[in-house]
Amino acid sequence: MARLTDANVALANQIISRYPRKRSALIPLLHLSQEQNGYVTEDAMVHIAELVDVTPAQVYGTATFYEMFKFHPVGRYVVNICGTMSCALLGAGELIDRAEETLGVRVGGTTDDGLITLEQAECQAACTEAPCLQVNYRFRYRVTPDELDQLIADLRAGTLADEIPPHGSLARVRQQIPADRWVRPVAPEDVDGEPLWMPAPEEASS
Amino acid sequence: MTTTGTTYPWAVGFVAGDRPQVVTERFGYEDSFTLARYEATSGYEGLKAAVAKAPNEVHDDVRGATVLGRGGAGFPAGIKWGLMPDGVTPRYLVVNGDESEPGTYKDRLLMERDPHQLIEGSLICAYAMGLSQVFLYIRGEMPLAQERVATALNEAYAAGYVGTNILGTDFSVDVVLHWGAGAYVVGEETALIESLEGGRGEPRLKPPYFPAAIGLYGKPTIVNNVETLSNLPWLMRNGIEAYTAIGSETSPGTRMLAVSGHVARPGVFEIVNGTTTFRDVIFGDDFAGGIRDGNDLKAFVPGGGSAPWFTEDQLDLPFEAKPVGAAGSMLGSGAIMVMDDTTDVPAAALTLCRFYAHESCGQCTPCREGATWLENILRRIVDGHGTRRDLQMLVEAGSTIAPGAFPHASSERLGLDANPFPYKMTTICPIGPSAYVPVNSALTLFPEEFEARVAANGDGPRPIPVTVASNPAGGGS
């Protein structure tokens, strides 16, 4: 049920073909499955394992390492408040307190209506615009607690629906490589095996 | 050399000033990220100049101009390229766009505002080194950078700058966009390769093998930072002499610098290497404009979260690796975080320490356990429950991760060596020791703030509290 759709399998195969080895496509494919379901389902991980010729455990092992993959449903909007140095110096703590109060959930929680998940993030690379936050990874700069309340009200009223796509839609960015200009990656058989330049054991010992 | 002398309010965080611009010269245009604008402002001229030469001449130019790596370590790019074994194919370039060192901000701006410049720089590298394929690895949490780079790549393919027979020559290479999924440690070059191979982003042990010899898929691989590669189009267009005329002899050119924290005007600046000082950047009118609200400077972090802190005594040091290293810190990734005299130093140290504890990949025990211990003990001190014994424990836990690395009074009392930076490590990569850097800086520079925090609670040991992970669903990094 939550395996990749036919359209996404076609896309997945296109992505896989860009790499000399299939497994390299793992993270892009996990993004793709998160785009399809809003989170990475177990079935999708099994399906991805089939597509890239590794075991489901290897897919799970990779997926759980990364912060952005979710394994259970989250809100349509994930609000990530940065709490690292520059943001902390300029009031990230108050921002997080206000968010918890306004949303009625603690960090890590999702509102009862399933609309908003609150998270605290480590450095988001917008330090000169501190304190900052991201909604589905789209930035909001120099946020005051009152602006945060306004943002949450806007998310609830649905007025930002055009501007901020639902959680998991990152992979919508597609690279198009035209067939006539595509060099194509080195074939797997040329990549596998011993590095050619390494001296053979007998040469090394003589 | 272009100067604009203008501030662009829409260019978030960027202030040009009246300075030479090597990588930010197009930031003054609102459509700086489009191919039309890029071509109208000498775009792809550098690539044309490069393919008119033999590949090894291009490599000689990069070596001759001493283009230093802008990712943090400051290793010359030309020498790094030269470590690749000759005549071995396939070989790869991996562009490190996984920026997330606390305080650092430049690579995202470069990818969002001038993606073609990065693509052109990557192609010049690919031509010089005869590479089989280029992978642009962009941090997962940067959708705008991904969008702009993907669009730029699509334009560049259509216009014949990327793909087969580039600019009508025999030179052919693919540039593939790849993105991460949120893990700071992946910015380390061997972890980046692990991640690109579809695995957990855990750093590899080096030596024996550096990526230039055994990298992606076990083949020779160059891993370069976004800003490093963005320097190449300008260099190829204007030549070695123009490039080395900017900056000092050992660090030619410019570098991008983010100044954040308690300053009047936080922003990203392109500064001249070697001649600009920390005082210029923090207090200069065309830079950050001094401390906010007329407060005094307490301390600043000179090179991203993992750099030891400086105070006003070091304000007159120039931006050059050697003097900054001799003073006990590093330039790192071009990030200055400023703390004014209202800053709660133990809390600031906790914030940075928590970052590294959270981002530990878990591979090495001293980092995984040690950084978490540092965080727990610091939190107890900040919450007012710490004792004098906790201060001692901070030093002991830090010494386990980075034995004998940091000179301060406590290490002397414990009979440990006091070695200058960089530290000795018990871990594969520098994340573990980085967790102790802010703790050690804070303890050394402002011991009285810690003393005051623990004064009421005496000397006795206290039980270690069990903490709950701040993000239980967040996975292993």
User: Which of residues A25 and B334 earns the better pLDDT score?
Assistant: A25
Is the pLDDT at B450 greater than 80, yes or no? yes
Q: Which two tokens stand for residue A51?
A: 């597509």
pLDDT class of A172 with cuts at 50, 70, 90: confident
Establish if A140 touches chain B: CB-CB under 8 angstroms: no
Look up residue A175 and give its DSSP letter: -
**Residues B85, B220 contacting (CB under 8 angstroms):** yes
Is the pLDDT at B446 greater than 60, yes or no? yes
Average pLDDT over all residues of chain B: 87
DSSP B436-471: HHHHHHHHHH-HHHHHHHHGGG-S---PPPPPPPS-
Is the pLDDT at A96 greater than 90, yes or no? yes
Q: What pLDDT, on the 0 to 100 scale, is given for residue B404?
A: 59
Considering chain A, what percentage of its residues have pLDDT values greater than 70?
91
pLDDT class of B333 with cuts at 50, 70, 90: confident
Contact between chains at B163 and A26 (C-beta distance less than 8 A): no
For residues B146-160, b (16+ Cβ closer than 10 Å) or e, as one string? bbbbbbbbbbbbeee
Contact between chains at B146 and A68 (C-beta distance less than 8 A): no
Spatial distance between the Cα atoms of A155 and A151, rounded to a whole number of angstroms:
6
Q: Indicate the SS3 state at residue B262.
A: coil
Q: Indicate the SS3 state at residue A43.
A: helix
- State how far Cα B202 lies from the chain centre: 18
Q: What pLDDT, on the 0 to 100 scale, is given for residue B463?
A: 55
Contact between chains at B355 and A195 (C-beta distance less than 8 A): no
Task: Summarize pLDDT for B65-79 with one digit per residue, the tens.
Answer: 999 988 877 889 999
Spatial distance between the Cα atoms of B50 and B83, rounded to a whole number of angstroms:
21
**Residues A86, A80 contacting (CB under 8 angstroms):** no
Task: Summarize pLDDT for B360-382 with one digit per residue, the tens.
Answer: 999 999 999 999 999 999 999 99
Spatial distance between the Cα atoms of B174 and B156, rounded to a whole number of angstroms:
11
Spatial distance between the Cα atoms of A41 and A38, rounded to a whole number of angstroms:
9
Q: What pLDDT, on the 0 to 100 scale, is given for residue B213?
A: 87
Spatial distance between the Cα atoms of B210 and B108, rounded to a whole number of angstroms:
26
Q: Which of B68-77, B156-165, B254-263 has the lowest mean pLDDT?
A: B68-77
Q: What pLDDT, on the 0 to 100 scale, is given for residue B208?
A: 75
Q: Which residues of B touch A178 (CB under 8 A)?
A: 157-158, 163
Spatial distance between the Cα atoms of B19 and B286, rounded to a whole number of angstroms:
10
Q: Indicate the SS3 state at residue B415.
A: coil
Mean pLDDT to the nearest integer, B190-195: 95
Contact between chains at A72 and B473 (C-beta distance less than 8 A): yes
Spatial distance between the Cα atoms of A27 and A51, rounded to a whole number of angstroms:
13
Locus of tokens 């040009």:
B16
Is the pLDDT at B138 greater than 80, yes or no? yes
Q: What pLDDT, on the 0 to 100 scale, is given for residue B477?
A: 39
DSSP B319-376: S-HHHHHHTT---TTTEEEEEETT--HHHHHHHHHHHHHHH--S-SHHHHHHHHHHHH
Spatial distance between the Cα atoms of A157 and B108, rounded to a whole number of angstroms:
31
Q: Which of B75-79, B180-184, B459-463 has the lowest mean pLDDT?
A: B459-463
pTM of this prediction? 0.91
Spatial distance between the Cα atoms of B423 and B367, rounded to a whole number of angstroms:
14
Mean pLDDT to the nearest integer, B438-462: 86
Q: What pLDDT, on the 0 to 100 scale, is given for residue B423?
A: 57
Q: Which residue of B has its CA nearest to A137?
A: B141
User: Which of residues B194 and B73 earns the better pLDDT score?
Assistant: B194
Q: What pLDDT, on the 0 to 100 scale, is given for residue B210?
A: 86
Task: Summarize pLDDT for A56-77 with one digit per residue, the tens.
Answer: 999 999 999 999 999 999 999 9
pLDDT class of B462 with cuts at 50, 70, 90: low
Is the pLDDT at A182 greater than 80, yes or no? yes
Task: Summarize pLDDT for B102-134 with one digit per residue, the tens.
Answer: 999 899 999 999 999 999 999 999 999 999 999
Is the pLDDT at A171 greater than 70, yes or no? no
- State how far Cα A105 lies from the chain centre: 23
DSSP B60-113: HHHHHTT-B-SSSS--BHHHHHHTSPTT-SS-EEEEEE---STT--HHHHHHHH
DSSP A87-120: HHHTTHHHHHHHHHHHHT--TT-B-TTS-EEEEE
Spatial distance between the Cα atoms of B109 and B113, rounded to a whole number of angstroms:
6
Q: Which residue of A has its CA nearest to B265?
A: A128
Establish if A53 touches chain B: CB-CB under 8 angstroms: no
Contact between chains at B301 and A141 (C-beta distance less than 8 A): no
Q: What pLDDT, on the 0 to 100 scale, is given for residue B354?
A: 95
User: Which of residues A162 and A50 earns the better pLDDT score?
Assistant: A50
Q: What pLDDT, on the 0 to 100 scale, is given for residue B120?
A: 97
CA B248, B254, B255: angle at the middle one, nearest 5?
120
Average pLDDT over all residues of chain A: 90
Mean pLDDT to the nearest integer, B5-23: 62
Which range of B174-188, B201-215, B424-438 scores highest in mean pLDDT? It is B174-188
Spatial distance between the Cα atoms of A138 and B174, rounded to a whole number of angstroms:
29
